[in-house]
Amino acid sequence: MQSNSKRVYDKMTIFEKLNSTNKIKMIIEPRMRGFICLTSHPVGCEQNVKNQIAYIKSKGEIDGPKRVLVIGASTGFGLASRITSAFGSNASTIGVFFEKPPSEGKTASPGWYNSAAFEKEASKAGLYAKSINGDAFSNEVKQQTIDMIKSDLGQIDLIIYSLASPVRMHPETGVLHRSTLKPIGDKFTNKTVDFHTGKVSEVSIEPANEEDIENTVVVMGGEDWSMWIDALKEADALADGVTTLAYSYIGPEVTEAVYRKGTIGRAKDHLEATAFEITDKLKDINGKGYVSVNKALVTQASSAIPVIPLYISLLYKIMKAEGIHEGCIEQIQRLYADRLYNGKSIPTDDKGRIRIDDWEMRDDVQERIAKLWEESTTETLVKLGDLAGYKQDFLNLFGFGFDGVDYLADVHEMVQVPSIN
């Protein structure tokens, strides 16, 4: 699905050329600032979406829901869920996201271009697809979504909750909460890697205070998910037998102090507990809430988390060697086909969670990672890990590094999402 292209650029070059429509065209290249890529490529993002659609089509039809709402639909697991629903089950989809549109001479965020490409491909396939760009935490976007559902689809069969945001403006208090990624109790010190340079070094993170923990739970816990379900149910927008699913992560022992046992972990605990509360709320319409624990993958957020890039680099190397590596689309296809919609009861662990991280968390995989972790240095990581694969996946997030895309060609940055005026 992904290219082996090794093109890496340092800047964005703009060639202003007036064509017949007087629109500026430009050559777009990755422009990095630390762990962030400031540009994205509309044609590359489109290729990424097309590749994922092709994968879903190659795996055959899934007997899944026909009316799907994806909250956080523009990148990562949310985008993969929208693609799997539409092109695996012929579902009508509404996608909610908060992305930066393009402006003259400036590219949009990749999720904008992904969503434009998705709607274009859905339209070609005769599938209903509409999108809402705005703050999913707000009451206004919830109401806008409900109005669209009631007008176009009537009710929803599946709600995917896949939001990833560092901040949340609480719709009732007006307070802006910021999440943090910190250990709880003790200072955390361990190895990390700068994936741009391959340098392995030691990093330390000071522990969180109570305010850090509370804010992180407000932003990344289950409260907003529950508020979405309440609003949809009150509006009679949920079909009988509705399922709702949120995505979580547990991870290995080597990251647990800063992740699962840190501030983010408290938020994930809250999210997972919310699934049971939602199931109780939906009993009268035979609905259920689940959390799916997914595997570690390269995202813009994970790239900035100390320890995680080194862990993912080692994980990729091992899982690729074992033939069990998955990206977002492979994970979600397996989640739908093998767990949610295979005609059997949905298997969960002792805490009621769906575990699609099962291959990552295999004992043999984790034992090998623990061994390689100890051996990892700047000099050895090139051989022990898969930094090249990590960098490739990072570039792919922004539409760069795909086969079949001419990155030296002029492109229009002013791409619109068809359903968004």
| Residue type (1 letter), 6 | K
User: Among this protein's residues, is 259 annotated catalytic?
Assistant: yes
Look-up of token digits 């932003």: 219
Query: What is d(CA 282, CA 10) in angstroms, rounded to the nearest whole number?
Result: 51
- Could you give the maximum distance between any two Cα atoms of the chain, in Å? 63
Question: CB of 313 within 8 A of CB of 381?
Answer: yes
**How many residues can be counted in the chain?**
421
Question: CB of 413 within 8 A of CB of 42?
Answer: yes
Q: How, if at all, do strands 67-71 and 238-248 pair?
A: unpaired
Q: Which of 55, 247, 249, 259 is catalytic?
A: 259
The dihedral sign for the CA sequence 82, 76, 277, 220: negative
Catalytic machinery residues:
259
